[in-house]
Amino acid sequence: MRRFPLIITLLLTVSLAYYIYTPLPDALQEQWKLMLLDASFRTITYTAALMQWFGFGHYIPSTRKYVEALEITDPEFLPGVIVSDETFSGVPVRVYEASGGEGGLKRGLLYFHGGGWAYGSAKKGASDKISRIWSDELNAVVVSVEYRLYPEVQFPVPYLDCLTAAKYFLSAEVLSKYSIDPERVAVSGDSAGGNLAAAVAQEISQDSRMKVKFSAQALIYPAVQALDFNTPSFLQNQNMPVLSRFFMVQFWMQYLEADLSLMGQFLSNNHSSLQQPLLTPKLRARFDWTTLLSPEQQKDYRPVVADEGLEGILEKVPGLLDVRASPLLAELEVLSKCPKAYIMTCEFDVLRDDGLMYARRLQEAGVTVTSVHYQDGFHGCFSLVFRPLDFDVGKRALRDYINWLQDNL
């Protein structure tokens, strides 16, 4: 009987190790830290889903509460930065103002956080701290937008919130109020926020009514298309922490109001089959990774193009072809008007090829692009720079991003 507690302890230890352990590529550093982070996210998601099954509300708001409870928000972090919560034409934003610096006019940076259009906040944890760092080091006014999220809203509401905030921010009155140089204003975002930043940059750049436009865009592993979920990076990294292929497709389907029971069809690219008359050869060329990626980036993967499947899906889910949701589908004429770009991608990220393809299309349109790729990077690393969830690649990525803005804004 004395052995029984020992056996139970051993079994629990083995089970926990099995749950946490995920085989990872050798190029990834600090692997156990990443495994623990991924296991924590999975536990939170599973718990929230179980609560939904028992009738305690939608799993996403529950997940948000759990994640927010774990985030450490320090209002005293970099006290020299003045922080205020405002509304820009009805859209909640958090404004960070550098109190010191070189004096005179400041840089302006409009930021959209990531989180699959369902999670995240400008006011919590790492997002808040990073905005303070940007404001302090760049002598900038940073505006982080609290756009509305799924399941409360779906496309195009988050995009419209961000566009509304952008137009308000770029008005002469607001730039003057915050002493911002109208020649030095950038738009930026990570992941789903990178999607929103790219789409907003396109719209602002071609709006003749806007007297002030963005002079730069900085996109961190952006999601820019929802028609091919079998790119080399989607397949290579389909089970990679902290964003799997399944969850990224689910985020897209939720955002665009697609029927989640069709998940298998979307994973098989049946939603972009040759049977879709709205997907003309001209449109297909805009997300054809066999021409937009180099042979080294394509590796040994082959395109997945279904002959038939999901007839009429593009009419039922029009967001799939809407450039406001999929900026990669924009015409060259639209892209040519966009501001110079900084695009960060990570080798071990399902969205790697999205960023690389968008960089290529911008370059083909004549836009100056700085493409920065991290061979040891993974999705989400850009925000993981504070203890205990600090990763060396994240620190390097944040530093490179700041250095680029210092030189180009």
The two most distant CA atoms of the chain are separated, in Å, by 81
Catalytic choice (190, 228, 354, 379): 379
Say if CB 384 and CB 391 are below 8 A apart. Answer: yes
Instruction: Judge whether residue 10 has pLDDT over 60.
Output: no
Tokens representing 353 are 């090829």
**What pLDDT, on a 0 to 100 scale, did the predictor assign at position 401?**
98
Band (pLDDT 50/70/90 cuts) for residue 374 is very high
Instruction: Judge whether residue 257 has pLDDT over 60.
Output: yes
Name the one residue in this structure whose structure tokens are 């040994």: 300
Say if CB 215 and CB 186 are below 8 A apart. Answer: yes
Name the one residue in this structure whose structure tokens are 């990443």: 34
**Spatial separation of the C-alpha atoms in residues 293 and 289, rounded to whole Å:** 5
Say if CB 136 and CB 98 are below 8 A apart. Answer: yes
Report pLDDT digits (tens) over 201-212. Answer: 999 999 999 999
Band (pLDDT 50/70/90 cuts) for residue 59 is confident
Catalytic choice (38, 136, 161, 349): 349
**What pLDDT, on a 0 to 100 scale, did the predictor assign at position 167?**
98
The phi, psi pair for 171, rounded to 5°, reads -70, 150
Active site annotation includes 379: yes
pTM of the model: 0.94
Average pLDDT score over residue span 99-109: 82
CB-count exposure of residue 281 (10 Å: 0-12, 13-18, 19+): exposed
**Spatial separation of the C-alpha atoms in residues 194 and 220, rounded to whole Å:** 6
Tell me which amino acid residue 55 is: G
Catalytic choice (62, 127, 191, 273): 191
Name the nearest CA neighbour of 388 among 22, 30, 27, 105.
Answer: 30
Active site annotation includes 58: no
Lowest average pLDDT, out of 61-70, 121-130, 234-243, 382-391, goes to 61-70
Walk me through the domains of the chain, giving residue ranges and CATH numbers.
52-409 (3.40.50.1820)
Band (pLDDT 50/70/90 cuts) for residue 153 is very high
Q: Which residues contact 358 (CB under 8 A, 6 or more apart)?
A: 198, 219, 222, 224, 327, 328, 343
Report pLDDT digits (tens) over 317-363. Answer: 999 999 999 999 999 999 999 999 999 999 999 999 999 999 999 99
Active site annotation includes 38: no
What is the full DSSP assignment across 282-302? Answer: HHHGGG-HHHHS-HHHHTT--
